[in-house]
């Protein structure tokens, strides 16, 4: 007994006296995190994190190594890729959102989030549990919003320029659960039953169209920013095993071929539905049209109203121009020269002084012009006439 116990005791004493060295070359992140969590003292942890660069996480470099969606990337710094935070109860995420970029609805099952808008305006909405009201805020640069642990939430860039947000977590392993991908990753028959009048095949069609995160945001934002929605990737799909296998004719990622976020085989174009389209067919078709059709080709109600108003104004201007030219031609016609128009008044009353002046062949009456009576009408002879234009309808 003595002979076996003494070497063991000596090895333990020598081991603790020597302290903990830096990570061994070639150690996996999993092993490094495990070493940090069992380090007996803070100094031992410090020695493991040698050299000093182990305390630094480069989000810009990580961004280039992140497979995001069509409208941006979400770069996470947690124990899974940054061992220095292991055991510290903290982690961080940077969201790089393009114009109208949407960090699709998700939850963090093990952490509360504090989301800070850096250089753009972001819409943040959340649901915390069944029966709770929907909470929504628009964050300007310099503002932040608290998101309780486990709440379903999203962030969307409301601007037409790229923006960033910073999310801090009170856990070194907050976790992420993407609502659409994970819900449709359940057994198709269960999803179909949850959605009502759908079939497993229809569920599989919809699942194959769910856009990768970060996705394009709402059509209102895209139209306002003049963005045409391009084809979005659908690789962030749940692994398929026997328990949640897709129906015959459809395929998805499996543990043997890919990870949860690796490229997946697209759903087969073969449809098992026949006859009149079901609600599921219409929903799947709507999802396909939404992903494939350019959003800029759709006219909003406001656009249609403006077009109608402009058309009515244009017709009004055309009618005014037509009326103007008709009246002008009428005034220039020969009928416009018929008859004489005289200004009424005492000086022109027959039998008075006005009559004598009017009949004089050498003197013009007041406010009249005089032309010899023998001058032909075709040469401008009109006798006595007023120099003022006759009012409309007087001739």
CA distance 204 to 234: 13
Residue 72's pLDDT is: 95
In the chain, what are the domain boundaries?
2-56, 60-297, 304-385
Residue 53's pLDDT is: 94
Q: Is residue 301 helix, strand or coil? A: helix
Residue 324's pLDDT is: 82
User: Which of 230, 259, 223, 234 is closest to 80 using CA atoms?
Assistant: 259
What are the tens digits of pLDDT across the range 84-102? 999 999 999 999 999 999 9
CA distance 250 to 264: 11
Give the helix/strand (H/E) hosting 313.
helix 301-332
Q: How many CB atoms lie within 10 A of CB 280?
A: 22
CA distance 326 to 86: 88
DSSP string for 175-239: --EEHHHHHTTS-HHHHHHHTSS--HHHHHHHHTTPPPSSEE--HHHHHHHTPPP----------
CA distance 350 to 342: 12
Q: Which residues of the chain, if any, have pLDDT below 70? A: 1-21, 23-26, 255-300, 330-395
Calculate Rg over the CA atoms of the chain: 42
CA distance 117 to 144: 6
Q: At 110, list the tokens.
A: 């093990």
> Does the predicted model carry a pTM greater than 0.85?
no
Q: Are the C-beta atoms of residues 238 and 260 closer than 8 Å to each other?
A: yes
Residue 26's pLDDT is: 66
Q: In this structure, which CATH number among 2.90.10.10, 3.40.50.300, 2.60.120.10, 1.10.10.10 belongs to the domain 60-297?
A: 2.60.120.10
Residue 378's pLDDT is: 55
Residue 374's pLDDT is: 53
Q: Are the C-beta atoms of residues 195 and 203 closer than 8 Å to each other?
A: yes
- Is residue 179 classed exposed, middle or buried when 0-12, 13-18 and 19+ CB atoms within 10 A define those classes? middle
User: Which of 234, 235, 218, 227 is closest to 290 using CA atoms?
Assistant: 218
Residue 367: half-sphere exposure toward Cβ, Cα within 13 Å? 12
Residue in the block written with tokens 């008709």: 326
CA distance 98 to 73: 9
What are the tens digits of pLDDT across the range 135-167? 999 999 999 999 999 999 999 999 999 999 999
CA distance 107 to 149: 8
User: Which of 233, 241, 276, 273 is closest to 257 using CA atoms?
Assistant: 241
For 89, 91, 355, the CA distances from 94, given in Å and listed in that order, are: 18, 11, 101
DSSP-derived pairing of the beta strands 144-147 and 122-127: unpaired
User: Which of 262, 246, 233, 248 is closest to 203 using CA atoms?
Assistant: 246
């Amino acid at each position: 007994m003595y002979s076996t116990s003494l070497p063991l005791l000596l090895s333990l004493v020598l081991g603790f006296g020597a302290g903990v060295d830096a990570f061994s070359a070639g150690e996996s992140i999993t092993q490094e995190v495990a070493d940090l969590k069992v380090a007996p003292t803070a100094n031992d942890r410090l020695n493991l994190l040698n050299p000093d660069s182990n305390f630094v996480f480069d989000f810009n470099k990580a961004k280039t190594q992140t497979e995001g969606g069509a409208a941006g990337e979400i770069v996470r710094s947690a124990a899974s890729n940054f061992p220095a935070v292991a055991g510290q109860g903290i982690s961080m995420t940077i969201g790089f959102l393009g114009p109208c970029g949407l960090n699709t609805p998700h939850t963090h099952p093990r952490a509360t989030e504090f989301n800070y808008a850096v250089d753009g305006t972001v819409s943040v909405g959340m649901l915390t549990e069944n029966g709770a009201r929907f909470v929504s805020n628009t964050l300007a640069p310099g503002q932040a919003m608290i998101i309780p642990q486990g709440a379903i939430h999203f962030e969307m860039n409301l601007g037409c320029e790229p923006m960033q947000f910073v999310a801090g977590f009170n856990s070194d392993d907050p976790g992420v659960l993407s609502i659409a991908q994970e819900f449709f990753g359940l057994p198709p028959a269960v999803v179909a039953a949850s959605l009502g009048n759908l079939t497993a095949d229809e569920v599989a069609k919809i699942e194959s169209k769910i856009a990768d995160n970060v996705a394009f945001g709402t059509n209102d934002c895209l139209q306002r920013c003049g963005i045409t929605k391009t084809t979005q990737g659908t690789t962030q799909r749940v692994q398929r095993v026997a328990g949640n296998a897709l129906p015959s004719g459809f395929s998805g990622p499996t543990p043997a071929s890919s990870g949860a976020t690796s490229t997946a085989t697209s759903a087969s174009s073969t449809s098992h539905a026949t006859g009149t389209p079901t609600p599921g067919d219409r929903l799947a078709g709507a999802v396909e049209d939404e992903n494939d059709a350019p959003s800029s080709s759709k006219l909003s109600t406001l656009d249609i109203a403006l077009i109608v108003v402009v058309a009515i104004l244009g017709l009004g201007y055309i009618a005014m121009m037509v009326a103007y030219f008709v009246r002008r031609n009428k005034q220039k016609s020969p009928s416009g020269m018929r008859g004489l128009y005289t200004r009424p008044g005492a000086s022109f009353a027959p039998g008075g002084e006005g009559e004598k002046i009017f009949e004089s062949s050498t003197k013009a009456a007041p406010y009249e012009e005089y032309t010899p009576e023998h001058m032909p009408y075709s040469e401008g002879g009109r006798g006595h006439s007023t120099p003022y234009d006759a009012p409309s309808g007087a001739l």
